[in-house]
Structure 1
Amino acid sequence: MLMIGPHISIAGGFTKAGRDALLVDANTFQFFTRNPRGGKAKALDAKDVAGLVAIMKDNQFGPLLAHAPYTLNMCSATPETREFARMVFKGDLERLEELPCQLYNFHPGSHTGQGVEKGIELILEILNAHMWEEQKTTVVLETMSGKGTEIGRNFQELKAIIDGVILKEKMGVCIDTCHVYSGGYDIVGNLEAVLEDFDRIIGINYLKCIHLNDSLMPFKSNKDRHEKIGFGTLGVDVFQKIVTHPSLKDLPFFLETPQENPLDYKKEIDLLRSF
């Protein structure tokens, strides 16, 4: 069965998050490791975590995806911002060892005028300092739309980061459908060519998960504006191609679409499963 789920708040605990996933017929979900606009992480409760483990086991859940806060920027020109990113990254990786979560996604960040090469150098400094051989978590780089001084606007930049990581076997990539389309990869007109580029430049073995989001913005806009599935510039057809593609269909998929009611995710999950 298609492994698919929405972004779910863990404010009420991990057991509740698991139950919320079941309410929309999801068999995985994404969650923020801490406040997405701040830095404080909620203390873990062993009983709460055990409740989630039981739900995942009983309902054959796929891999969960932890998402770093948006405030994490490893390649900022500001030392204090980089130190905050180091603290968050190190702390999140350590906490994830206590959770049933195999994937940790983060935005590579913005080099804030220093240039891509310097930005990647700063990212690698933190990654190589705080990843270790025995960690169970795969660190996942997200494809970006390319606004401002973002790093990760193309496959070459993500490849450069992976190339510089010592523990490459602990690295992966998350394709965000809204971001890659806005960034200039025409998944609507030629999905096959985009995947061939990904495989040639990065390697399809590094693709660990996909964010399924339609877009409010046109192709190559470099703008990050998510929309509900089928209501944006990507349209329904490309999502059918993605979730049924031989190279993609067994990956976990995560919805970050704007919903007035979290239960509305069920409509999208039902639609995508119908394919």
Structure 2
Amino acid sequence: MLHIGCHLSSAKGFEHMGKEALSIGANTFQFFTRNPRGGKAKELDEKDIEKFLKLASEHQFGKLVAHAPYTVNPCSKDQKTREFAHMVIEDDLRRMEYLPGNYYNFHPGSHVGQGMDIGIQVIADLLNQLITPEQSTVVLLETMSGKGSEVGSRFEELQAIMEQIQFGDKIGVCLDTCHVHDAGYDISGSLDDVLDQFHQIIGLDKLHAIHINDSQNPLAAHKDRHAKIGEGHLGLEGIWQIVHHPRLRHLPFILETPNELEGYAREIALLRQEQVPPLED
């Protein structure tokens, strides 16, 4: 069964997100753990979560992906920014245990001139302070496009973090199709080659989720501008091949395209087709 969803607002609670997902043909979704620009998370409603878990079980939902706010930068050279990242991730991982067995995704961050090696080390140190053997949540490092001083645009950088994590079964990767394309991996034209590289460097068993996005920019642009499916440089056929690839189709696929619910419903329907569909005008 394909598990495809999109990013949904958590403002009205988990049961609402679950019903909203079902209304557009989705059977998974992503949500921000708090305001994407940071701030305090709202209180959890355990009854709401209980209703959602029942709904998700009845409809065979795939694993959910929680996304940390964009302001989290664990490898910043600013001490207060690093402390904020520590606070947010620690609190988010505690809260995620109310939704056991799902994923917590974050952007590894930007080293801001300190150098890639220092950035990698600081990220690994922070995760080792926070990840516990008891947690059921797997923390995902997102692949990045390589703009500025971002950490994580190369598979080797992610592996350098992961190999230092004490509890290695609690760490993995979320691959973003726009980001890896912009980073220089030809995921739409040479998918098998990219997957082989990923497997050789990290291991496909560590790939737990995929963000599905087209890209406004050509290969290796290092810019990170998402496009609707079929309206960018990856193209509908390239993205459809990713979703239906036998080495990937068991994963949760999360759309982050610039859409409202109606647009997400169209894209989910396109990607669920068993053959490459024509792209309507």
TM class by smaller structure? over 0.9
2:222 matched to 1:218? no
Amino acid at match of 2:214: D
The residue aligned with 2:227 is: 227
How far, CA to CA, are the matches of 2:3 and 2:98 in structure 1?
A: 22
- 1:239 Cα deviation from its structure 2 partner: 1.4
Alignment map for 1:231-242 (pairs within 5 Å): 231-242=231-242
Deviation sequence 1:144-188 (CA, Å, 0-9, x none): 000000000100000000011111111110110000000000112
The residue aligned with 1:271 is: 270
8 Å contact kept, 1:9–1:17: yes
The total of aligned residue pairs comes to 274
Deviation sequence 1:34-88 (CA, Å, 0-9, x none): 0001221010011111111111011110100000000000000000000000000
Deviation sequence 1:122-144 (CA, Å, 0-9, x none): 11121000110010000000000
The residue aligned with 2:162 is: 162
Deviation sequence 1:212-247 (CA, Å, 0-9, x none): 000111110001100110011110111121111111
How far, CA to CA, are the matches of 2:262 and 2:100 in structure 1?
A: 24
Pair 101,65 (structure 1): closer, same or farther in 2 beyond 3 Å = farther
How far, CA to CA, are the matches of 1:31 and 1:59 in structure 2?
A: 19
How far, CA to CA, are the matches of 2:101 and 2:205 in structure 1?
A: 19
How far, CA to CA, are the matches of 1:254 and 1:101 in structure 2?
A: 17
The residue aligned with 1:145 is: 145
* Off by >3 Å, runs of 4+ in structure 1: none
8 Å contact kept, 2:106–2:140: yes
8 Å contact kept, 1:187–1:194: yes
- 1:101 Cα deviation from its structure 2 partner: 5.3
The residue aligned with 1:108 is: 108
2:246 matched to 1:243? no
2:261 matched to 1:262? yes
Secondary structure of 1:189's partner?
coil
How far, CA to CA, are the matches of 2:113 and 2:145 in structure 1?
A: 17
How far, CA to CA, are the matches of 1:206 and 1:228 in structure 2?
A: 27
The residue aligned with 1:195 is: 195
How far, CA to CA, are the matches of 2:251 and 2:196 in structure 1?
A: 17
How far, CA to CA, are the matches of 2:181 and 2:156 in structure 1?
A: 16
8 Å contact kept, 1:147–1:223: yes
For structure 1, list consecutive stretches of 5 or more residues without a partner in the other structure.
none
Alignment map for 1:41-80 (pairs within 5 Å): 41-80=41-80
How far, CA to CA, are the matches of 1:121 and 1:200 in structure 2?
A: 22
Amino acid at match of 1:266: A
How far, CA to CA, are the matches of 1:43 and 1:27 in structure 2?
A: 25
How far, CA to CA, are the matches of 1:56 and 1:188 in structure 2?
A: 32
Secondary structure of 2:210's partner?
strand
Amino acid at match of 1:40: K
Amino acid at match of 2:10: I
Secondary structure of 1:187's partner?
coil
8 Å contact kept, 2:101–2:138: no
How far, CA to CA, are the matches of 1:68 and 1:190 in structure 2?
A: 30
8 Å contact kept, 2:100–2:137: no
8 Å contact kept, 2:97–2:136: yes
Identity %: 55
Amino acid at match of 1:67: H
8 Å contact kept, 2:111–2:150: yes
8 Å contact kept, 1:30–1:65: yes
The residue aligned with 1:3 is: 3
How far, CA to CA, are the matches of 1:101 and 1:255 in structure 2?
A: 21
Q: Which 10-residue stretch deviates more, 14-23 or 148-157?
A: 14-23
Alignment map for 1:125-140 (pairs within 5 Å): 125-140=125-140
Amino acid at match of 1:165: I
The residue aligned with 2:178 is: 178
